[in-house]
Amino acid sequence: MHSGGQSLRLLREQLGLTMRDVETASAAIATRHKSDEFAIPPSRLSDIETKGVVPSIYRIYSLSVIYRRDARELLSFFGVDLNKTAEDLHLSLPPKSHIADALQSSMATNIPVRMDPSFDFRFTMNMGRVVEKWGIVPLAYLAQFANRRYTYGYIGSEDFTMYPILPPGTFIQIDETKNRVIEGAWRSEYERPIYFIETRDGYTCSWCSMQKDGLVLQSHPLSPVPVRVLKHPQEAEVIGQVVGVAMRLGEWSTVDSLPDATTREALN
């Protein structure tokens, strides 16, 4: 297996470029962007190719332009694979709810490419046992299934507004076409629409109802977060309705770790 530097050297040689050619091209890029950080002298390129020196983000950019390759590919030569972003998101738990854009850097993903013939969608089962083969698929291939009306969000580690239905750490899918609050009688809490709201303090999810000039943010009855009434749309705007969720089970906070009354004041 080639090292990062060796992989870069192969790209250069495949294009028939000398180190001087790279120097000249990178100097032009540096001049255009008015920064010497983009320049790559032959001595530095030699160190990168043969001595394990890791290029800076500026030189990664220059090399991606000169070698006609995506910068993400060059980053992967040095162990930074942006397609693994989804696997690492759970390692950081921001306290505030927010729109999740990190996955836009991913160009490929693992999906089931062959299922066990016995798979029957009517029954609950272990998906790990019915997927016969996983494969890497370029996300561009999945573009035909894309629907731009959806936004994706994440419930912050300190946002207990819809706990326990939407515990902290939940990923949510939001339909932006459904941004009008629906009033009605709901047979259960699972039928009542949950909305993704942008306020002056950030984002949150809640049940909603409208008053004269205000938006009522109704938290779950078991939540420690009180009901809030904010001016609409000056203080709160409905981004859309939550139509899908993805959460980890068995990692919900216990009652002892829920915010106390003092912490609730801070949350609001």
Which SS3 state, helix, strand or coil, does residue 107 take? coil
Domain with CATH 1.10.260.40 in the chain: 4-77
What is the pLDDT, as a whole number, of residue 242? Answer: 94
Q: Is a pLDDT exceeding 50 seen at residue 265?
A: no
Residues 199-218 have pLDDT tens digits of 988 899 999 999 887 999 99
CA-CA distance, 68 to 65, in Å (whole number)? 5
Residues 120-147 have pLDDT tens digits of 655 534 555 556 666 655 555 555 555 5
Q: Is a pLDDT exceeding 60 seen at residue 262?
A: no
Bridge partner residues of 242 (DSSP): 174
Residue, of 132 and 229, whose pLDDT is higher = 229
107 contacts 33 by C-beta, under 8 angstroms = no
> How does residue 64 score in pLDDT terms, banded at 50, 70 and 90?
very high
**Cα separations (Å) of 108 from 39, 115, 125, 146?**
31, 20, 27, 14
Residues 159-206 have pLDDT tens digits of 999 999 999 888 888 899 999 999 888 889 989 999 999 998 889 999
| CATH number of 4-77, picked from 1.10.260.40, 2.40.110.10, 1.20.1050.40, 3.30.470.20 | 1.10.260.40
Residue, of 213 and 265, whose pLDDT is higher = 213
Domain with CATH 2.10.109.10 in the chain: 150-267
CATH code for the structural domain at 150-267 = 2.10.109.10
What is the pLDDT, as a whole number, of residue 268? Answer: 45
